[in-house]
Structure 1
Amino acid sequence: MKTPSRKSQTHLFANAIANKERRKLYARQAKPYGGVWFGLGFAGLIGWSVVAPTLLAMALGIWLDFRFPSQFSWTLALMLAGLTIGCLTAWEWVSKEQKRMAKSQPPHDSPNS
Structure 2
Amino acid sequence: MAKSPKEPRTPREEERLGREVGRQAERKRRARERGHHAPWFGLGMFGLVGWSVAVPTLAGIALGAWLDRRAGGQASWTLTFMIIGVALGCLNAWYWIRQESHHDD
**TM-score w.r.t. length of structure 1:** 0.61
Once the two structures are superposed, the pairs formed by residues 1-113 of structure 1 within 5 Å of their partners are 30-32=30-32, 34-101=37-104, 103=105
Distance 1:43 1:77 in 2: 26
- Matched to 1:30, the amino acid is R
**Deviation of residue 36 (structure 1)?**
0.7
* Structure 1 segments (4+ residues) deviating >6 Å: none
- Identity among equivalent positions (%) equals 47
Higher Rg of the two aligned structures: 1
Flag structure 1 segments of 5+ consecutive residues without an equivalent.
Answer: 1-28, 104-113
Aligned residue-pair number: 74
Equivalent residue letter for 1:100 = H
Residue 34 of structure 1 and its aligned partner are, at CA, apart by 4.7
Q: Which ranges in structure 2 are unaligned for 5 or more consecutive residues?
A: 1-28
Q: Distance in 1 between matches of 2:69 and 2:77?
A: 10
In the aligned structure 1, how far is the partner of 2:58 from the partner of 2:42?
A: 24
**RMSD (Å), alpha carbons:** 1.6
Matched residues in 2 for 1:30 and 1:75: separation? 48
